[in-house]
Amino acid sequence: MMISRLFYWLIVISQVVIALRSFHRHPAMVIIGVLITLVVIALTENAYGRKQDTHYTPRLLWLLVIITPLAVIIQTLVNY
Protein backbone atom coordinates (compact mmCIF):
# COMPACT_ATOMS: atom_id res chain seq x y z
CA MET A 1 0.00 0.00 0.00
CA MET A 2 2.85 2.39 0.78
CA ILE A 3 4.46 1.70 -2.59
CA SER A 4 1.25 2.63 -4.38
CA ARG A 5 1.01 5.87 -2.41
CA LEU A 6 4.62 6.65 -3.28
CA PHE A 7 3.61 6.09 -6.89
CA TYR A 8 0.74 8.56 -6.42
CA TRP A 9 3.17 11.20 -5.22
CA LEU A 10 5.34 10.64 -8.29
CA ILE A 11 2.28 11.02 -10.50
CA VAL A 12 1.18 14.23 -8.77
CA ILE A 13 4.70 15.72 -8.96
CA SER A 14 4.99 14.88 -12.66
CA GLN A 15 1.52 16.33 -13.22
CA VAL A 16 2.61 19.61 -11.61
CA VAL A 17 5.77 19.75 -13.74
CA ILE A 18 3.79 19.08 -16.92
CA ALA A 19 1.20 21.67 -15.95
CA LEU A 20 3.81 24.35 -15.26
CA ARG A 21 5.57 23.78 -18.55
CA SER A 22 2.54 23.32 -20.78
CA PHE A 23 -0.19 25.50 -19.31
CA HIS A 24 0.56 28.48 -21.57
CA ARG A 25 0.16 26.31 -24.71
CA HIS A 26 -2.79 24.08 -23.78
CA PRO A 27 -4.57 25.40 -20.67
CA ALA A 28 -7.81 23.45 -21.19
CA MET A 29 -5.99 20.17 -21.85
CA VAL A 30 -3.83 20.65 -18.75
CA ILE A 31 -6.89 21.26 -16.56
CA ILE A 32 -8.69 18.24 -18.00
CA GLY A 33 -5.55 16.14 -17.55
CA VAL A 34 -5.21 17.17 -13.91
CA LEU A 35 -8.84 16.33 -13.20
CA ILE A 36 -8.65 12.94 -14.92
CA THR A 37 -5.39 12.11 -13.13
CA LEU A 38 -7.00 12.90 -9.77
CA VAL A 39 -10.00 10.73 -10.69
CA VAL A 40 -7.69 7.84 -11.59
CA ILE A 41 -5.87 8.17 -8.27
CA ALA A 42 -9.16 8.29 -6.35
CA LEU A 43 -10.55 5.27 -8.21
CA THR A 44 -7.36 3.31 -7.64
CA GLU A 45 -7.42 4.09 -3.93
CA ASN A 46 -11.08 3.11 -3.80
CA ALA A 47 -10.32 -0.16 -5.61
CA TYR A 48 -7.52 -1.00 -3.15
CA GLY A 49 -9.83 -0.29 -0.23
CA ARG A 50 -12.62 -2.43 -1.65
CA LYS A 51 -10.20 -5.23 -2.50
CA GLN A 52 -9.13 -5.41 1.12
CA ASP A 53 -12.80 -5.53 2.20
CA THR A 54 -13.58 -8.08 -0.56
CA HIS A 55 -16.31 -5.82 -1.98
CA TYR A 56 -14.62 -5.38 -5.33
CA THR A 57 -16.98 -4.62 -8.23
CA PRO A 58 -16.21 -5.31 -11.90
CA ARG A 59 -17.65 -1.89 -12.80
CA LEU A 60 -14.88 -0.18 -10.82
CA LEU A 61 -12.26 -2.24 -12.62
CA TRP A 62 -13.68 -1.35 -16.02
CA LEU A 63 -13.77 2.32 -15.08
CA LEU A 64 -10.08 2.16 -14.20
CA VAL A 65 -9.25 0.30 -17.42
CA ILE A 66 -10.99 2.98 -19.49
CA ILE A 67 -9.93 6.13 -17.64
CA THR A 68 -6.24 5.28 -17.10
CA PRO A 69 -5.32 5.14 -20.83
CA LEU A 70 -7.39 8.28 -21.34
CA ALA A 71 -5.25 10.09 -18.76
CA VAL A 72 -2.08 8.84 -20.44
CA ILE A 73 -3.28 9.98 -23.88
CA ILE A 74 -4.18 13.44 -22.60
CA GLN A 75 -0.80 13.81 -20.90
CA THR A 76 0.91 12.79 -24.14
CA LEU A 77 -1.11 15.31 -26.15
CA VAL A 78 -0.30 18.11 -23.69
CA ASN A 79 3.40 17.60 -24.28
CA TYR A 80 3.10 18.16 -28.04
Q: What is the pLDDT of residue 75?
A: 79
Which CA distances in Å does 78 have to 35, 63, 70?
14, 22, 12
C-beta neighbour count of 62 within 10 angstroms: 10
C-beta neighbour count of 50 within 10 angstroms: 14
Angle at CA of residue 42, ends 32 and 62, nearest 5°: 85
Whether 80 shows a pLDDT value over 80: the answer reads: no
Verdict on whether the full-model pTM lies above 0.95: no
How buried is residue 30: exposed, middle or buried, by Cβ count under 10 Å (0-12/13-18/19+)?
buried
pLDDT digits (tens, 9 = 90+) for 35-76: 888 888 888 878 777 766 666 677 877 888 888 888 888 877
